[in-house]
Amino acid sequence: MDEEYEPIGLYSTPPSQIADRSMQKHTRKAGRPSNPIPREKLVRIAVSFFADEGYRATSLDRIAQECGIRKSSLIYRFGSKEGLYIESITAILGSLSTMVGAAALSEGNFIHRLDQLSGAICDYLGTEPKAARLLFREAMDQGPFITGPQGELFSAILETAVEFLEAGDKAGEFSVSDARDLVLTIVGVHLGYFAIEELSERVQGVPVYNAESLARRKHEVTIQIRSLCGVQ
């Protein structure tokens, strides 16, 4: 019978609340222009630029041009290039934190929850093509998000995942020798394939983001992560 799972550590402050604070800190409370482009669309375009070019090399002028607005409009909406960058990563991590938190806090079989989490992350990364690359780049470059106070969100999500694996191991459904090391391995399984999509496409011989490829990847990741967690 499953033991009751009580979240501890960094997740005592839910990652979703950390994400909310990050966005509030970098959002200007000014009047809105007439017929504004949806904020989500601006962030999605920014994610693509930041992921491919990195924070330092990305120009607000180019993002604005792609969005079909003036640079001053971007600054009006986000305050600065750093504000736009922080919100771009916060949006990605906010989505991931919701998925990890749901797996950790929901009731029921740990293996079923693990499968649901694996599938949800695959579905999300499959619909947000540059999300994985941006997270990888930020972690490698040690950019303004991870080195600032918002970096706590990275830690909170990973800590929640560690606690989930440890609880599953304690319940006898997983076989985990080092939950922290295993979480990092699972992060690589999820992000690596999409972060290096050009190489993935070369190896697979098909586009990464077509429906068939995404379904195959979701199936394989679910099997791989089950195996990593010692599920027979």
Residue 2 placed within a domain: no
Residue 152 placed within a domain: yes
Residue 4 placed within a domain: no
Residue 143 placed within a domain: yes
pTM, rounded to two decimals? 0.83
Q: For 67-114, write each residue's pLDDT tens digit.
A: 999 999 999 999 999 999 999 999 999 999 999 999 999 988 999 999
For 59, the domain range is 11-228
The CATH number covering residue 200 comes to: 1.10.357.10
Q: For 7-38, write each residue's pLDDT tens digit.
A: 433 334 455 555 555 555 554 444 455 568 89
- Secondary structure percentages of the chain, helix, strand, coil, to 5: 70, 0, 30
211 confidence band (pLDDT: 50, 70, 90): very high
Q: For 153-207, write each residue's pLDDT tens digit.
A: 999 999 999 999 999 999 999 999 999 999 999 999 999 999 999 999 999 999 9
Q: Give the pLDDT of residue 11.
A: 37
Residue 6 placed within a domain: no
Token couple for 61: 């002028």
Angle between helices 81-105 and 60-67 (to 10 degrees): 70
Q: Give the pLDDT of residue 232.
A: 79
